Structure 1
Amino acid sequence: MIFPERFSNLPAYAFPRLRALLDHLEPGGPVVHMTIGEPKHAFPDWVTDEIVAHSATFNRYPPNEGAPELLEAIAGWVERRYGVPVDADTEVMALNGTREGLYNAAMALCPETKNGEQPLILTPNPFYQVYAVAAISVGAEALFVPATEASGHLPDFSGLSEAQLRRTAVAYVCSPANPQGAVADRAYWEQLIGLAEKYDFKIFADECYSEIYRGEAPTGAIQVARDMGADPERLLIFHSLSKRSNLAGLRSGFVCGGPESIRRIKQLRSYSGAPLPLPLQMAAVKVWQDEEHVIENRRLYAEKFELADEIFSGIEGYQSPNAGFFLWLPVEDGEAATVKLWTETGVRVLPGAYLSRDADGENPGKGFIRAALVAPKTEVAEALVKLRDCLYGQE
């Protein structure tokens, strides 16, 4: 049940809003884009060779749920990464990137009512916009749960009321978090999974930044759920090659969850899915099987975070992120800071309010800007120095 009026009040997406804010203004220097999380590091050079080697299969309709070879490669990666064996046939489905999966999972799995009431879909605030649009699409109410410094930049779902938890059908969680870089530890997952078990809701774990981290690898939700003996249908995890392997344009992602949940998502996908072409699926097989390029990718990001820590040393409120590739920088007003930075330096960032929603009279992103560290190291260093000097007055 989708009605056009449900979408009539959607705010403009973050990047059209940014263009409206800045494009009529002249940049104050050479343009440096730090807005979108589009990786700029090189992807493995053999990816193109794999696509060419399988190019004859462009004339075949690809399997909606993913080729068997790809599903096996993904299942193998999940077991190597998290120590959890999963069945490739019944617990994994290939996605055309994670965004369509995060949306369609709600379409396939959110009930029309929960305990006789309109269901709630919980989303962190700030959040990835598809979470809220998924809630609108299924006739649920999106509940924006603050993810601020006070809660470790992750949503504290345990603070919700009994009435809210009884209505909850789905909880979206992004770990490592976009934009803050916070990582959910085992205790966080245990508490959330315990709530989901008690109040019978599903967790959609958006873990697409899981392979870009500093120090220890982030704990996976699936590890904790299996250790707890949780209902296999309680959790779905979402991953992709976009950030892990610098292959945003390949559009290879996956969802992994309980057999019944995956069956229902596959059924919906049979009608509405946009499967990955087979040559791209075959390339993705090899990419999911290789870790050397991921280690190198992580090293390059670590170098840039070390630079950021040095450049912003002593800046009040600066927090060095644990994972992901964004800086979530405190300012008095995100839009004003973005305009000032653009007109005085040419550095282009994203106001934090564009990733958040007003809730209870507060927008938790208003006092922040997001800067993506995706450009080459020297370009990032120059841009961050300009940003620091422009917005924080330090040289």
Structure 2
Amino acid sequence: MSNPDLDRLQPYPFQRLAALREGVQPPADRDMISLAMGEPRHPAPGFVAEALIEHTHGLARYPATRGDTALREAICSWLSSRFQVPAGWLDPERHALPVNGTREALFAFAQAMVDRGRPGARVLMPNPFYQIYEGAALLAGAEPRYLDATPGGQPDFDAVPAAAWRDCQLLYICTPGNPTGAVLDNAQLQRLIRLADEHDFIIAADECYSEIYPDEANPPPGLLQACAAMGRSGFERCVVFHSLSKRSNLPGLRSGFVAGDAELLAGFLLYRTYHGCAMPPATQAASIAAWSDEAHVRENRALYRQKFDAVLDILGKPLGLERPQAGFYLWPEVPERDTDFTLGLWREEHVAVLPGSFLARDGGTGNPGARRVRMALVAEPEACVVAAQRIRRYLQ
């Protein structure tokens, strides 16, 4: 016997991609270039690796689930500086918890927050979306409701009926968005906060792409920044999730944090204490080093800008593409069914992209990812340029 909700989980997008390509042979005379997976491939900062090695002596003790004070202080300091939160509002003892990558935290948060005893529990999420949101809702005993993206790329909150807000217990947002790159501005975030107050739900903001943006003078705002602008010093009903994977090219470190409403985090800490997910001491030391440095993050952004410039010069006109507001994805419409385009590009050019329909669901008005593909500009600049040239050739 097992939890029957496990049967409701859908295959992960990359499982579906592998099944789509099964038996199809790409040209052997061309190296494979993958734009399918959003795994950063820029070099990891050397000083972070050194901090990891230097603190292996911490292996001789059990780490605390809530992490060392020094790590929580580094997290709160970074949040305050980056998102214009007044000094003293973020208390390291109450407002932040380290997590072993935001993927596990985004999933676990729903398990701790959804009230299974409340009939008609709903978890609202963007569509297209990061599939962890859907799995988290289903395994928490709630029903997912998909909010289709507007032409601008963020969920169409105006289309949500009052009854859906009333049944909502948890709203996942992703800003900057995966895969659209769209950003919710302060006014939109504050509107969601007011809706959360009115209808008694929690906002979980996935902000893992917040540090990859084109204009150094205009970083994307965040949910806690919106709270601060409202004078909401307790961050009630609001939590944010951040990661070192994209910001610092450290996906293998599995390090991030959740921060915000102290009462919600107290419950999440209790859950995590039983869940057994404390961050190893050496990982904490490496994380402190990463959160305390911005130079490597600026260099990272510069490299992504270079890649976007080069790729958009090749594909901008053929695919009608513009630079996204943030993140490292392109989300173009393609001239045929997304799965056909993906398979044809693989068969003829040995380039991997991800069908947009694999990242979305048909919530009743069609799948908003159909006839789109996701391209992750994570490879080295030269590889991204070659991939773009091959895609243009395939289009022609």
TM-score, L = length of structure 2: 0.95
Aligned to 1:63: 64
Amino acid across the alignment from 1:127: F
Query: Greater CA deviation, 197-206 or 17-26?
Result: 17-26
Give the distance between the partners of 1:80 and 1:174, measured in 2 at CA: 21
The answer to whether residue 113 in structure 2 is matched with residue 112 in structure 1 is no
Write out per-residue CA displacement over residues 319-374 of structure 1, whole angstroms, 9 at most, x where no aligned residue.
32111111112112111001000000000111111111121051111111111101
Where does 1:117-196 land on structure 2 (aligned, <5 Å)? 117-149=119-151, 152-196=152-196
2: CA distance between counterparts of 1:96 and 1:80?
A: 23
SS at match of 2:213: coil
Q: Cα offset for 1:229?
A: 3.6
Question: What secondary structure does 1:124 align onto?
Answer: strand
State the Cα deviation string for residues 96-141 of structure 1 (Å, max 9, x = none).
0001111111111122255xx3111001010111111111112111
Give the whole-Å Cα distance in 2 for the aligned partners of 1:190 and 1:90: 23
Whether the aligned pair in 1 keeps the contact of 2:357 and 2:367 (CA below 8 Å) is: yes
In structure 2, C-alpha distance between the alignment counterparts of 1:145 and 1:188, rounded to whole Å: 15
CA deviation after TM superposition for structure 1 residue 10, in Å = 2.1
RMSD of aligned C-alpha atoms?
1.5
Instruction: Tell me which of 245, 249, 271 is aligned to 2:248.
Output: 245
Which residue number corresponds to residue 226 of structure 1? 228
Partner of 2:294: 291
Q: 2:260 matched to which residue of 1?
A: 257
Q: Which residue of 2 aligns with 1:39?
A: 40
- Residue of structure 2 equivalent to 1:356: 360
Whether the 8 Å contact between 2:240 and 2:260 is mirrored in structure 1 is yes
Contact 2:338-2:356 within 8 A present in 1 as well: yes
Question: Shift of the alpha carbon at 1:286?
Answer: 0.8
Match of 1:322 in 2: 325
Q: Tell me the CA shift for residue 318 of structure 1.
A: 2.2
Distance, in Å, in 1 between the alignment partners of 2:25 and 2:357 is 22
| Aligned-pair identity (%) | 41
Matches within 5 A, 1:65-84: 65-84=66-85
Cα gap change, 1:3 to 1:260, in 2 (>3 Å): farther
Distance in 1 (CA, whole Å) between partners of 2:9 and 2:109 is 20
2:274 to 268, 271, 274: 271
CA offset at residue 385 of structure 1? 1.2
Secondary structure in 2 aligned to 1:180? coil
SS in structure 2 at match of 1:286: helix
SS in 2 for 1:35: coil
Q: How far did residue 313 of structure 1 move? A: 3.1
Distance change >3 Å, CA 356–CA 8, structure 1 → 2: same
1:299-338 correspondence to structure 2 within 5 Å: 299-331=302-334, 332-338=336-342
Give the secondary-structure state (helix, strand or coil) at the position aligned to 1:205. strand
Contact 1:34 1:374 in 2 (8 A): yes
**CA–CA distance in 2 between the matches of 1:358 and 1:375?**
31
Q: Report the equivalent of 2:94.
A: 90
Please say if residues 148 and 364 of structure 1, whose CA atoms lie closer than 8 Å, have aligned partners that are also in contact.
no
Residue 347 of structure 1 is aligned with which of 346, 351, 355? 351
Show the counterpart of 2:200: 200
Q: 2 CA distance for matches of 1:57 and 1:172?
A: 35
In 2, Cα distance between equivalents of 1:312 and 1:243: 24
Counterpart residue type for residue 308 of structure 2? F
Change (3 A) 1:52 1:316: closer
User: What's the TM-score once normalised by structure 1's chain length?
Assistant: 0.95
Q: Structure 2: which 5+ runs fail to align?
A: none
Q: Secondary structure at the match of 2:317?
A: coil
The answer to whether residue 103 in structure 2 is matched with residue 99 in structure 1 is: yes
Q: Give the SS at the match of 2:82.
A: helix
C-alpha displacement of 1:23: 3.8
